[in-house]
Amino acid sequence: MKQKVLTSLFTTSIIAGVAAVSESEAATSYKVKAGDTLWGIAQSYHTSVAKLKEMNGLTGDTIYVNQYLSVPSIHSKDNGHVYKNSHAPNVYTVKAGDTLFDIGRRFNMNYHDIMRNNHLSSSLIHPGQQLSLTTTS
């Protein structure tokens, strides 16, 4: 009986370990920046605040600048197409709900580069605004 219980516990541990590895393979790391919220990060990665809390063992809503969070990989749950830089359009027209972070992620670019290339002093963008997505060397 004792052997059966130990075997069962061992098997359960292995299954839990495999599940954890599978989940971590579908995750990436995100460094929290000033002004970030769990809700905003969840929106950017097409997930829920509850899932972010679960992935990071968080019990509250407090996060800190420079803290690293596990977030779903953009390739695992993102229904939008992710482009390589060479396939990104030269000009992108901002749509309602877009953020520089989301646009950068979609076209595999850093949003800071988009800001610099478009001479933006803030990350505030508006629907209809045209952004250059060409990279400068």
pTM: predicted TM-score of the whole model, two decimal places: 0.41
Least confident of 72-76, 114-118, 133-137: 72-76
The torsion defined by the Cα of 102, 105, 109 and 114, in degrees rounded to 10, comes to 0
pLDDT above 70 as % of the chain: 67
Mean pLDDT of 8-35: 59
At 128, list the tokens: 């209809």
Contact predicate 41/1, CB 8 Å: no
pLDDT at 120: 92
Walk me through the domains of the chain, giving residue ranges and CATH numbers.
Answer: 2-77 (3.10.350.10), 85-132 (3.10.350.10)
With beta carbons less than 8 A apart as the criterion, state whether 55 and 12 touch. no
Q: Reply yes or no on whether the pLDDT at 1 is more than 70.
A: no
Instruction: Give the list of residues 6+ apart from residue 2 with CB closer than 8 angstroms, or none.
Output: none
Q: How many CA atoms lie within 13 A of 99 on its CB side?
A: 9
CB-based burial label for 23 (10 Å; 0-12, 13-18, 19+): middle
pLDDT of 23 over the 60 cut: no
